[in-house]
Structure formats: C-alpha cells, structure tokens
Amino acid sequence: MKNHLKEARTNKQLTQIQLAELVNVSRQSIISIETNKYTPSVLLSLKLAHVLEMNVEALFELENSDY
C-alpha cells in the first residue's frame, strides 16, 4: 500500500509530533507509516484523513502488488 501521509502533513504545515498528538499516537508511529514500515488500522487511517482533511482513498492507495 502506498501512502501520501508525508506530503499531506507537510502541506498542512504540521510536524510529525503535531500530527501524532492530533491523532493520539506516538511520533514513531507517524514515522513508521510515512516510511511504509507500518500499515495503520482502519480507525487510525480515518483519523489521519479527518485531521488532514482528505479522503482515506486519497491518503492511502493500493498498489498492484496488494492484490
């Protein structure tokens, strides 16, 4: 799965710490998601999309290898 979290976060001028606080996770969780080392839960994905004012589908997208 590909994500656009880093781009979306920087577009909103949020630091990793600020975003983490807004969705109630650690900064390390944000780093892991941004570097594709961790796939967030549905709940966390929805929270991130809400805070970043995006659709989940715009923030996260399936790649051919995911099928």
**pLDDT one-digit tens code per residue, 34-45:** 999 999 999 999
pLDDT at residue 35, rounded to an integer: 97
pTM score > 0.85 for this model? yes
Distance CA 13, CA 8 (A): 9
Span 7-33, pLDDT tens digits: 999 999 999 999 999 999 999 999 999
Domain 2-66: which topology? Answer: 434 Repressor (Amino-terminal Domain) (1.10.260)
CB-based burial of residue 8 (10 Å sphere; 0-12 exposed, 13-18 middle, 19+ buried)?
buried
Establish how many alpha carbons lie within 13 A of residue 9's alpha carbon, considering only the half-sphere containing its beta carbon. 21
pLDDT at residue 16, rounded to an integer: 98
Domain ranges of the chain: 2-66
Span 56-65, pLDDT tens digits: 999 999 999 9
pLDDT at residue 36, rounded to an integer: 94
